[in-house]
Structure 1
Amino acid sequence: MKRYLLLLVGILPMSQSIATSSSAPEAKPGIETTRFGTFPDGREAKLFTLQNASGMVVKITNYGGYIVSIMTPDKAGKMEDVVLGMPTFDDYAKGTPSLGPIIGRYGNRIGKAKFTLDGKEYTLAPNNNGNHIHGGPKGFDKQLWNATPVDGNEPAVVLTYLSKDGEEGYPGNLSVEVKYTLQKDNGLRIDYKATTDKPTVFNPTNHAYFNLNGRKADILNEVLTINADKVLATDNQQIPTGELKSVAGTPFDFRKPMVIGSRINDTTDTQIKYGKGYDHCWVFTDKSNKLKQAATLYDPTSGRQMDVLTTEPAVQVYTANNLNGKVIGTDGIAYTKRFAVCLETQHFPDSPNKPDFPTTTLRPGDTFKSTTVYKFSVK
């Protein structure tokens, strides 16, 4: 039986508040749909609550495709939120530091906000010191997506959006589909699909900020493993230089489990200085496009572990170096510096300007497909 909860306009206030709970919800798998908030022009944003049989709960909104909340147990069975989210729809509509949305058309940076494709130069919307980042000031995270809930033991929500030719400077009408699925094994699976009617570039990702200790403290004591032997060197504006540097003997070597905070302040490393910590793209040792184990994040206090599997060739690791406590999230928590870590699976930044990098060009007749899974467990 369908379990979609469709609420009529006016039943909820203008902006529904997000609350978290420390007790495990009733473990009945399925999906519920509620009204999250209303734009001044009358358009409504929905909130989709996905739950599996083990009691894990994920909340997604079709405004920007934000992951609003992930409730998952610690080693004692206590349910806590492990991503940074905002209390209300109005908070998201005002803008956030990319707290969990779909990023596109292009995740990460494109140098000087321009690129050349098939001999034609395209100028993008600059929003990062003259560069272009995360699809521009009105990227996918600022759009209201069409949404279709899918009920069942592995509930899902399918989001679709047509990015029109010229949007933020990109060529081509790009039809995008992103499917979030809460799996039986506590994996949150994200499937991306896209087609275009003109040659364009495309590099989507999700920008969730993870904090496996339940947002009680920063993530400097969490343990990270990355199955990558190279990292992209950048200039002082964090645009890749084109060099793939070996991680061996550097603060970027996470091939074995390493406490995040152990080398994050090594200012003798130029790359650490440029990123003000970690804000770099690691290149996986496994170069295949199969779904592969890419990284693992572990919190020794809570016992929570998150395995990252992806078909992508790289991951941008960002340790929330620019958060400063001014953003107040759910439960009144101030999001301070290094309060979370992003693991953004993707192709390389600035690939359109680096012919030696794996291509991000999408052409008519081709279909872009990519999958990433964030799988939660305890130990």
Structure 2
Amino acid sequence: MKFYALASLAALCAATTANDAMAVTVSRENAGKLPDGAVVEAVTLKAANGVSARILAYGATLQSLIAPDAKGRKADIALGYDDLDSYVNHPNYFGATIGRFANRIANGRFTLDGKTYQLPQNDHGQTLHGGGRGFDKVLWKVESVTSGPVAKLVLTHTSPDGDSGYPGTLKARVTYSLDEKGNLGILFEAESDKPTIVNMTNHALFNMAGEGSSGGAMDNRLTIPAGAYTPVSATLIPTGELRKVAGGAFDFRKARRLNDALRDGHDDQIVAGRGYDHNFALDKGVTPTPQLAARLVDPASGRTLEVLSTEPGLQFYSGNFLDGTLIGKHGHLYRMGDGIALEPQKFPDAPNHSNFISARVDPGKPYRHAMIYRLTISH
């Protein structure tokens, strides 16, 4: 199997110069076992500036992302669980790699070259995040781990032809990379032996004030450089319309407090999503290198996250279905608004909308999505 060369991965993150580059350290440990006895490894990438990422091989999951504030105080900004068993027994996509197809597909069906494929309908009659046993629920193989100015973890997984109804044997690879500037790169690659659809992303939920903070994430300020979004039906499937954001609850072209319009019952789309659960059509479109898709800032601490991506869409989800029944890290009960997802991707239900950018992948034409979580401090 031939993937894009990884030698250019450093270019996905802000480059360090030869004079100031310092090695990012790597540590590996046993995170536990799955019910079938398979051992799950955890790999931590840690930079000298205080940024670190812990990744589980199960689900190729970003379990934690540590970031310092303006005074050097560190906090885990990613929601999730402390232990492997919770990821297995109470799956909620926290930090997981999503695939084969991220987001929703209407009625779990799509047609490719005249043939209709039926997927598991795991979300009120729709397919959500791959359906069935998605990429978040499989043990990925740790292919390689390297330290250096840019430390890397490479994980691979092969999804057989017909897996959850998708055509083609899909060989997928996820590469996490961390540099000394605080840039966590995630590179998704996949290759199929038959025409198929692919849409991969990471489903981390963030709170820049720190996971479990008493006020949740609702005082965070969000910017999304998108002049339009895709409205949804009552079942959260895009209608096919591209609606302008100007002046309304979905206008994040300038930074605004997350809580400003979250409970605006006058907006039919806020009502449909029980908050925000919508795809934004980024002004940048598809780009050869990662460009800004979102910026999230906690004014009190100064912690700032920029999400960069090569993909044309960004799903903003305000944690609407967190209802206090999940016990997360440090015993925290997660509630609506405790964290938000900012997921770069193709548009939801793209295979069923000819006006959306295609999610089709053909043999000899690999899928590639490069994204970055860039951590900085705003003063």
TM-score by length of 2: 0.91
Residues in 1 aligned to 2:350 and 2:137: alpha-carbon distance in whole angstroms: 24
Matched, 1:150 2:146: yes
- Partner of residue 312, structure 2: 313
- Partner of residue 127, structure 1: 122
- Greater shift, 289-298 or 198-207, is seen at 289-298
Cα displacement (A) at 1:359? 0.3
Cα displacement (A) at 1:39? 2.0
- Partner of residue 270, structure 1: 268
- Partner of residue 283, structure 1: 281
Cα displacement (A) at 1:149? 1.2
- Partner of residue 192, structure 2: 196
* Residue identity (%): 39
- Partner of residue 67, structure 1: 62
Cα displacement (A) at 1:336? 1.0
Give structure 2 stretches of 5+ with no counterpart. Answer: 1-21
1:212 aligned partner, one-letter code: M
- Greater shift, 50-59 or 234-243, is seen at 50-59
2:167 aligned partner, one-letter code: P
- Greater shift, 146-155 or 165-174, is seen at 146-155
Q: How does 1:180-219 map to 2 (within 5 A)?
A: 180-215=176-211, 216=213, 217-219=215-217
Residues in 2 aligned to 1:74 and 1:334: alpha-carbon distance in whole angstroms: 24
- Relative distance call for 1:116 and 1:288 in structure 2 (3 A) is closer
- Greater shift, 33-42 or 345-354, is seen at 33-42
Pairing partner for 1:89 from 80, 84, 89: 84
Matched, 1:80 2:75: yes
Residues in 2 aligned to 1:65 and 1:301: alpha-carbon distance in whole angstroms: 32
- Partner of residue 9, structure 1: none
- Structure 1 residue matching 2:67: 3-state secondary structure: strand
Cα displacement (A) at 1:40? 3.1
1:176/1:194 contact within 8 Å kept: yes
- Structure 2 residue matching 1:47: 3-state secondary structure: strand
- Partner of residue 102, structure 1: 97
1:296 aligned partner, one-letter code: R
Cα displacement (A) at 1:154? 1.8
2:285/2:313 contact within 8 Å kept: no
Residues in 2 aligned to 1:282 and 1:206: alpha-carbon distance in whole angstroms: 16
RMSD value, Cα: 1.1
**Residues 176-232 of structure 1: per-residue CA shift (max 9 Å, x gap):** 011011122101100011110000000001000001101212111110000000100
Cα displacement (A) at 1:97? 1.4
- Partner of residue 219, structure 2: 221
Residues in 2 aligned to 1:124 and 1:264: alpha-carbon distance in whole angstroms: 32
- Partner of residue 236, structure 1: 234
- Partner of residue 375, structure 1: 374
- Structure 1 residue matching 2:269: 3-state secondary structure: helix
- Structure 1 residue matching 2:132: 3-state secondary structure: coil
Residues in 2 aligned to 1:276 and 1:325: alpha-carbon distance in whole angstroms: 16
- Structure 2 residue matching 1:112: 3-state secondary structure: helix
Matched, 1:173 2:187: no
- Partner of residue 15, structure 2: none
- Structure 1 residue matching 2:324: 3-state secondary structure: coil
2:99/2:129 contact within 8 Å kept: yes
Pairing partner for 1:51 from 46, 52, 56: 46
Cα displacement (A) at 1:327? 1.1
Cα displacement (A) at 1:117? 0.3
- Partner of residue 298, structure 1: 297
Give structure 1 stretches of 5+ with no counterpart. Answer: 1-26
1:29/1:53 contact within 8 Å kept: yes
